[in-house]
Amino acid sequence: MNQFTAVTQQDERGICCIDLAGYLDAHTATELESIINTVITDGCRRIVVNFADLEYISSAGLGVFMVFIESVRADGGDIKLAAMKPKVFTVFDLLGFPVLFEIYPTVEEAKQAFPSLDA
């Protein structure tokens, strides 16, 4: 069974969108960590994570975003989160993560929130 998938695509504005699906727990978190790591190594600093098909997240999943947020922002980029199901948002909310992460209702809104590159 495929418990978790993360698929990355870059748009014409240089924003990498990572579509999550399934269950993000202590088992699958390492997978996401290596995917985000690849995205960053490939030079992207404008990252949107699409949670639309994510059914579950535990603290191991939360931890993945903490690993990268500091350095991505230091480079002038961001990791913006989008389209969470309420049950997933609840976990972020439980620990106050919305203070640190920008969370948008849709992927489109998250993308729009990045300043245009030619600004």
Partner 1 sequence: MTSPVSHNGIITVPATTDHLHEIREFLRARIRAAGFSEFEENGIVLAVDEACSNLIRHAYHNDPTQSVEVALVIDPDVVTVSISDTATPFDPNSAQVPDMPTYLQERRNGGLGILIMRRVMDAIDYVPCGPTTNRNMLVLTKRRTA
Smallest distance from partner 1 to CB 66, Å: 4
Assigned token pair, 47: 């990252």
List the beta bridge partners of residue 95.
Answer: none
Which x/- pattern over 60-89 shows residues binding partner 1 (rule: CB under 8 A)?
A: x-xx--xx-xx----------------x--
Q: Which of 5, 8, 58, 112 is in the footprint of partner 1 by CB under 8 A? A: 58
- Contact predicate 18/7, CB 8 Å: yes
Query: Which ranges of 42-105 would DSSP assign to H, the alpha helix?
Result: 59-74, 86-94
Smallest distance from partner 1 to CB 52, Å: 18
C-alpha 9/C-alpha 5 separation (Å) is: 13
Smallest distance from partner 1 to CB 75, Å: 14
- Residue 10 binds to partner 1 (criterion: CB under 8 A): no
- Contact predicate 48/82, CB 8 Å: yes
- Residue 35 binds to partner 1 (criterion: CB under 8 A): no
- Residue 99 binds to partner 1 (criterion: CB under 8 A): yes
Q: Where are the beta strands (DSSP E) in the chain?
A: 4-10, 16-24, 46-57, 78-82, 103-104
- Give contact residues for partner 1 (rule: CB under 8 A): 1, 3, 23, 25-27, 56, 58-60, 62-63, 66-67, 69-70, 87, 90-91, 94-97, 99-100
